A and B are shown apart, each in its own frame.
Chain A
Amino acid sequence: MSDSPAPPDESPAQSRALELYDTMTRIRQFEITAERLQATGRIETSLHLSIGQEAVAAGVCYPMRTTDLITSTHRGHGHCLAKGGQLAPMMGELFAKAGGYCGGKSGSMHIADPRSGILGANAIVGGGIPIALGAALAIQQQQRDDVAAVFFGEGAAAEGVLHESLNLASLWRLPILFVCENNGFAEMTPVSVHLAATNVADFAAAHKVPATTIDGNDVLEVLAAAEAAIDRARAGEGPSLLECRTYRWRGHYQGDPEVYRTKAEVEEWTKRDPLLALRSRYPQLSTHFDELDTKAGVDIELAVQEASSWADPLPTAVLENVYAQPLGAK
């Protein structure tokens, strides 16, 4: 494929669309690659893939700075990539290599990167919610205009700590976005069985937190809602909740027999592919989107090769960093 020059006078909207698409295709291909590598045994840890949910990560993180802080979920590769996580150390963590983000010791569900403002993905449903609250407290205390954001699924909406945190964020006007990825399933249980409320956004109203429910597969809608919420937080107006309706194409975990939904339902949702949706909004950029797909594929393959070459952690790594300050250290 030959390199097409960018159209003259590429509008800011078009540039933005390309950047958003770039993020989404990287997430998509990273997940597909991880899926393939796990199937062939090269990744041995459990994976919770976010294929189909790319628009939420891309749209929410697009307006964020490096100094803004996020916590993520067990299904967090997309959030981490969108926030600035680098491909090789992420892949390296999945390969359990010493050069992975967490020294290979934590795996897919705990990726963390201070340089990108990623406090950490989290294996405990709802575990990252009050941690993000604390980040927002620090931001407020330090009189910064940064923001904190926490991603969580609608499964976490049943955890008490979400409600504690909405209450506190509202009381103290903390600069935090609560981003709910409502993908219809808490592990293997559909929403209709585990939530009495119609919308997760309804919970926010009780705590006087502004909230909105949007199409989480429309990255431009996600972006608009995120920008509004982030601007509000930066201006000292407190928290917001974004409920993003989306769908995960793969099972809860890789290997999930998915007895709880039909193939027809999955296929119906794949037609609402967030990447295709963005493409259809900018048909004139089709060639550019293709180039971004290709480049992402190349970059991910390079990351796989690089991470594959890294060493495993040494046996002594088991006892490293149990404490930040071991006894006797200053």
Chain B
Amino acid sequence: MKVVVDRRRCMGMGACESLAPEHFEVHDDGQVMLLRESVADESRMDVEAAVEGCPTEALRLEERVVR
């Protein structure tokens, strides 16, 4: 599973960093940086909370396609 950021919506509020700091960090340019490529099962709940918690709904989860 991976996180996709809609850069037009991301305003660097930081709710995601607060809920899943291993996956998200806001930089001083005001945009979020994804710290990990994919979401491990054990982090799923935190990352889902971060996606839900984004005030501008800039995040969504996508299942990785395994070829």
Are A and B physically bound partners? no
Could you list which residues of chain A lie within 8 angstroms of chain B, going by C-beta atoms? none
